Amino acid sequence: MVGGDESFEADFDEMFRRAQRLACRLLGDPSRADDVAAEALARTYAHWRKVAGYEHREAWIARVVTNLAIDEMARLRRSVVTGEHLTDEVSEGAVLRVALAQALRSLPRRQRDAVVLRYLADLDEAHVAAALGVSAGTVKTHLHRAVARMRSTLGPGFDPSFTEF
């Protein structure tokens, strides 16, 4: 049965691993990433009958993870602004992640989706194109524009591979 509980359970470990990895790249905190990944998979399960039929359901899950992580970073931003419970090392990483979240949030949805799928979920351009239902050329255009916009926000040294985050 497409969308049955059995198929969700069979794919859960792989979906959670990918969701947790993406959340950790965005948040930099494994325990917060676990929480975001768990919430994303709970939402996935709630919509499983629909999501299970998607050819590229990892793109749907990545979008949920990204939105949840951005929300989490907004909460973190409030902590950074007030200085609550942050060491110097944590606050520097938190500031970088808050800046990343703001830069991602400022992008148009398609550009943000392309950036997340390509650089954070590590899909190649062909898979990003298939997941978004656009051509590879359109993906390249979205990525080029998104990276240019993020560089204008985060500085010319911004690396879209997000290795410093």
17-44 pLDDT, tens digit per residue, is 999 999 988 888 899 999 999 999 999 9
Asked if pLDDT for residue 86 goes beyond 70, the answer is no
Mean predicted confidence (pLDDT) in 91-120:
83
Q: State how far the Cα of 111 lies from the Cα of 117, in Å rounded to an integer.
A: 10
| Contact by Cβ (8 Å): 147, 160 | yes
List the chain domain ranges. Answer: 5-154
**23 in Cβ contact with 68 (< 8 Å):** yes
Judged against a pLDDT cut of 50, whether residue 1 lies above it is answered with: no
Virtual CA dihedral for 15, 21, 27, 31, nearest 10 degrees?
80
Lowest mean pLDDT among 35-44, 50-59, 83-92, 133-142: 83-92
CATH numeric code, 5-154: 1.10.10.10
Q: Is the pTM of this model over 0.75?
A: no
Q: Rounded distance, CA 26 to CA 76, Å?
A: 12
Mean pLDDT of 73-78: 72
